[in-house]
Structure 1
Amino acid sequence: MSETIAIRRLGMSEAMACVDALADVLIDCVEGGASVSFMLPIARQTALAFWRHVAEGIARDERILLIAENGAGQIVGTVQLIISQPENQPHRADVAKMLVSRSARRQGIATRLMAAVDEQAQRAGKSVLVLDTVTGGEAEGLYERSGWVRVGTVPNYALMPDGTLCGTTFFHKQLSPA
């Protein structure tokens, strides 16, 4: 890794204070082609509103937000763990919005964020994790290397930021109880 990266969990107040920096990461990733629920052109107000909503979810104990910061304290990556699940799935969580700024990729940041997800999930009493990603994208390899199991794909599941259809691959991971 070319520089020091710190992974940490944000509370609601800190998340609200970081909305601008988180919006920068989201916009960078969407402009780079990441299919993470947003279309081009992504308005800054849209990105800011999304992160405010995430912070509100943290306040309601629905989400865990992890960030990766470089040595200068700049947020260069993030991932969420959605811990609020239906009554019959108290042991499950969804992983969402794995984002690493294009300038910070290939430094092991995503791998470290995924390891932190496992740790946070276990602390929250979660033993089954689920996520989805663009079929054929680089993230599939990341998840497989991180111990995730491919479940299957759904063709034409979502749109890429430019409007073209893309398939989605679903993964799961079974964790040992904490």
Structure 2
Amino acid sequence: MTLPNPILYDPSRHKPLLSQLASIHASCILQDGTLASFIPTRQKTGRLTIDHLKLVNFWLAYNQQVEEGSRAIVLQFADESEEVVAGVVSLYMPGTETGPFRSEVHKLLVSPQHRFKGIARRLMGRLEEVARESGRGLVMLDTTIGSGAELVYPKLGYIVFGDVPKYGIHPLTGELVDERWFYKDLRG
């Protein structure tokens, strides 16, 4: 089955999908150990969980930023019905007079059920279109060294510009992990 084109998140249409985005976010943390803002808690049963409401509130804040114009969110649906989200990525466009051309990629997350279909590439392609259209052609991002994402970004033309040791806490092991920073200049 062919995937539909990724689309821009529209708060008036897509806000009911925030629970799905929260679930994808949680699954990437819990299954992959993705460094994505939250650390799970261990239940008495030993099972790791993340408070779903906390994740929904995180995405509600992103929704607010979309409404304010400082963020764009790109959605990849599993099919034309636009009922099941397969992946998501956001572009943060900070309000700065000294760098109105800069943007940052946040939360490239692909549902484990929909991986190895080129979704990350599709999402990033659409995100780059949005960056160009918004005059935000200097795109920066970061990812944990040793993660699968670290291998994806160079294939998409992103250039490493530095590493930060002991940048964050791994959500599953509690160990400090190193972060790698990338950029891509779409302005030329």
The TM-score normalised by the length of structure 2 is 0.89
Structure 1 counterpart of 2:92, one-letter code: I
1:176 to 153, 177, 187: 187
Query: Which structure is larger by alpha-carbon Rg, 1 or 2?
Result: 2
**Pairwise CA distance, 1:154:** 0.8
1:35-114 to structure 2, matched below 5 A, reads: 35-40=35-40, 41-71=49-79, 72-73=81-82, 74-114=84-124
Gaps of 5+ in 2: 41-48
Q: Give 1:15 shift.
A: 3.8
Is the CA contact (8 Å cut-off) linking 1:69 and 1:75 kept in structure 2? yes
Letter in 1 for 2:20: A
Q: Verify the 8 A CA contact 1:6 1:70 in the aligned structure 2.
A: no
Please list the CA deviations of residues 79-125 of structure 1 after superposition, one character each: whole Å capped at 9, or x if unmatched.
00001232211000001000001111111000111111110000001
Q: Distance in 2 between matches of 1:6 and 1:28?
A: 23
Q: Secondary structure at the residue paired with 2:121?
A: helix
One-letter amino acid of the structure 2 residue matched with residue 156 of structure 1: K
- Write out per-residue CA displacement over residues 49-88 of structure 1, whole angstroms, 9 at most, x where no aligned residue: 0111110010110100001101153101000000123221
User: CA contact under 8 A between 1:5 and 1:109: conserved in structure 2?
Assistant: no
Does 2:26 correspond to 1:27?
A: yes
Is 1:151 aligned to 2:150, yes or no? Answer: no
- In the TM superposition, residue 3 of structure 1 has moved relative to its aligned partner by 4.4
SS in 1 for 2:6: strand
The correspondence of residues 152-167 of structure 1 with structure 2, limited to 5 A, is 152-162=162-172, 163-167=174-178
Q: 2: distance between equivalents of 1:78 and 1:51?
A: 11
Shift of 1:48: 0.7
Encode CA deviations 1:2-61: one digit per residue, 9 max, x unaligned: 542431001222342211111111111111111111111311011110111110010110
Distance 2:18 2:59 in 1: 6
Scaled by the length of structure 1, what TM-score is found?
Answer: 0.94
* CA RMSD between the two structures: 1.4
Aligned to 2:16: 17
Report the equivalent of 1:4.
Answer: 3
- Percent identical pairs in the alignment equals 28
Alignment check: 8 A CA contact 1:38 1:161 kept: yes
